[in-house]
Amino acid sequence: MTGLMQGKRGLIMGLANDRSLAWGIAQRLHEQGAEMAFSYQGEALERRVRPLAEQVGSDFLVDCDVGDMAALDRTFAQIEERWGTIDFLVHAIGFSDKNELRGRFVDTSLDNFLLTMNISVYSFVAVAQRAARLMPNGGSLLTLTYYGAEKVIPHYNVMGVAKAGLETATKYLAADLGRDNIRVNAISAGPIKTLAASGIGDFRYILKWNEYNSPLKRNVTIEDVGGAGLYLLSDLASGVTGEIHHVDAGYNVVGMKAEDAPDI
Ligand code: NAD
């Protein structure tokens, strides 16, 4: 199976390092012939992202803070100038003050609520508006979400509320953009140790709990996420839109603690 993404070009947003979910997706897309641009947030990250982009044959990097609409406009203008059109986009971005990703949700501040919604939810809408203009022949947009949108996960707090918003935004965007043959989907990934995840209180406990209680009795990897990302971004998923696709070793179907799960 090679060449699924041959002739397709797209933007990967949210690559921070080689543990990022975006990296798992970018590698799979590269294996299948995709051409990719990468956006990163600020100079410090550029030093990490550039060598990774080079590994997958890209020298196309753009500095873009998704909270800044002018930066988003510049990013898509640069893409249009170089490529004219794109076929796919990955939005692997989320942010919240880590002081509010521990303790109680009820203590969420207004400032951090708005910041979290802006960077983790609205940015996907802002990106979709701009990407759709560069997809005259249709395309595929993908974002990343988590089970904390559906059920209460200790410490996930305001990020869970944001992910619920992101999942619903995915469905509304799918409905709006479907007539232009633009598909919009989300992967709900199981917990994976990344930079962003390290900000969540007691994350190691969440990892253990998932490992012991998921049907596959393991945690997922960025390679698992990459495979599903490739499917949703390629023509293999040509009839799929508005979908929240779980890549979580089956954890979301389980209703109670496994009998053989050790106490943790
Ligand atoms: P990561 O730290 O590797 O990636 C997060 C990215 O968001 C970074 O590249 C960071 O620069 C970017 N970002 C944050 N604020 C930004 C801003 N204002 N402008 C532009 N970029 C910004 O971590 P990750 O776990 O790979 O996260 C990617 C996505 O996957 C996030 O949406 C996260 O919520 C989601 N997710 C992660 C897990 C997990 O367990 N790691 C599980 C499910 C979903």
pLDDT tier, 262 (very low <50, low <70, confident <90, very high otherwise): confident
- Ligand 1 near 24 CB (within 6 A): no
Residues pairing with 91 in the sheet = 13, 143
- What distances in angstroms separate CA 165 from CA 74, 83, 113, 127, one per listed residue? 26, 32, 12, 15
In this structure, of 26-30, 187-191, 228-232, 256-260, the range with the lowest mean pLDDT score is 256-260
The ipTM is: 0.99
Q: What is the Å distance from ligand 1's center to 21 Cα?
A: 8
Asked, for residue 226, whether it belongs to a domain, the answer is yes
260 domain residue, yes or no: no
Q: Establish if 259 belongs to a structural domain.
A: no
In the prediction, which pLDDT does 1 show? 55
Is 140 inside any structural domain?
yes
Residue 263 lies in a domain: no
Catalytic site residue from 146, 147, 172, 205: 146
Residue 232 lies in a domain: yes
What's the average model confidence in pLDDT over 24-33? Answer: 98
Q: Which atom number of ligand 1 is nearest to the Cα of residue 146? A: 43
* AA letter at 30: H
Which helix (DSSP H) or strand (DSSP E) does residue 157 occupy?
helix 157-177
Residue 172 is a catalytic residue = no
Tens digits of residue pLDDT in 131-185: 999 999 999 999 999 999 999 999 999 999 999 999 999 999 999 999 999 999 9
In a domain, residue 1? The reply is no
The count of structural domains within the chain is: 1
CATH number at residue 26: 3.40.50.720
Cα–Cα distance measured from residue 95 to residue 45, given in angstroms and rounded to the nearest whole number: 15
Whether residue 121 lies inside any domain: the answer is: yes
What is the average pLDDT score of the chain? 97
- Say if residue 100's pLDDT is above 90: yes
pTM of the predicted protein model: 0.98
Verify whether ligand 1 is closer than 6 Å to residue 66 (CB atom): yes
pLDDT 10s digits, 37-92: 999 999 999 999 999 999 999 999 999 999 999 999 999 999 999 999 999 999 99
Q: How confident is the model at residue 260 (pLDDT cuts 50, 70, 90)?
A: confident
- What is the span of the domain harbouring residue 236? 9-247
